[in-house]
Structure 1
Amino acid sequence: MPDITEILKRARPRERSVTLCLAGDEAAEVERLERQLSDLSDSWQPDSLGAKDPAEALTKRIKAARDRMRKSEVEFRFRALGEKVWSDLLAAHPGGKGQSFDPNTFPKALISAAAIEPAMTPDQVAELFEVLNEGQRQDLWQAAFEVNTEATSIPFSVSASGIFNSLSEGK
């Protein structure tokens, strides 16, 4: 069994990432185009042999908008804070009765403190929060909180498990 010196050399803080699509306008465009496509599939009938199905053009527009959405995705990476930094951050944002922290100030401070890519100040987090919706804000908060509070274990992957099983059977 390794001694503590060897364990400390191998130990790394927990990291976690979350990817957000920042093109809210493109999301609305995809939804609008998909509604048009759905409406068309119920009503369009060709009026001649040369008639082109308008669904093809809509499908291409949907694909282009989805591609623009993918290009707008940003990965936010977080790293667990050390015990002292975590404790100091909690102390700087005390909660009210029965609360461990102030729910209005602590999330932005934690996101800022734990963010490693991109690095953000609390003011930049506040500015970002003004353009994100509640679900996106929750995704950032959850990633920053969980990287600091969840134990690290080897995650189970259903997708990889299926591939591992098929590889094992092929031997």
Structure 2
Amino acid sequence: MPNLKDILAKARAREHTVRICLAGDVAAEVDRLEAELAGLSQWQQESLADKNPGLELAEKIKAARERMKEAEVDFTFRALGAKAWSDLVAEHPGKDSDESWDAESLAPALVAACAVDPEMTPAEVDELFEALNFGQRQQLIDAAWQVNGEATTIPFALHASAILASHTEGK
């Protein structure tokens, strides 16, 4: 039976990474191109010389999606220890007695405190939040909450299990 020192030697804080696409303009381009492509659903080839105009649009969509992937940035968060969590919450008390903390001020502070790659100061989080939309900000906030609030369990990996089963005849 392991002792506590052995257990603590193995313990690692939970981490979680989210990818944020910073190319909002390219996302809009993809939306526009996909709408244009959807509008061609009634196109029919009238002669062998006719080329499907959807092919050119599909190529443009593919190129734009690649630019979006290149504009993605990984943000990695690590859970705070019990004291660091308690201290951070204490720095952001609720506005009334019903609230344990002020979620509005705690959220960006939590992002800064948990960000390990890239590391960010509270001022840098504020600057980043000015450049992001609400959904992107929420992704970062959710990741910081998740890394601190969810237990670490071994997830079931459906795709990996299916691939392995197909190579081992289900055994």
Which bracket does the TM-score occupy, shorter chain normalised?
over 0.9
Tell me how far apart the structure 2 counterparts of residues 45 and 170 of structure 1 sit (CA, whole Å).
45
What is aligned with 2:138?
Answer: 138
* Structure 2, unpaired ranges of 5+: none
Gaps of 5+ in 1: none
Aligned residues: 170
Deviation at 1:136? 1.3
Which residue is 1:153 aligned to?
153
* Aligned-residue offset at 1:13: 0.8
Q: Which runs of 4+ in 1 moved over 4 A?
A: none
SS at match of 1:74: strand
- 2:105 is matched with 105
Query: Deviation of residue 47 (structure 1)?
Result: 5.2
The alpha-carbon deviation at position 165 of structure 1 amounts to 3.1
Matched-pair identity in %:
55
Q: 1:35-50, aligned counterparts within 5 Å?
A: 35-42=35-42, 44-46=43-45, 48-50=47-49
| AA of the residue aligned to 1:7 | I
Out of 46-55 and 107-116, give the one that drifted further: 46-55
SS where residue 39 of structure 2 aligns? helix
In angstroms, what is the RMSD of aligned CA positions?
1.5
Equivalent residue for 1:65? 64
Letter in 2 for 1:71: E
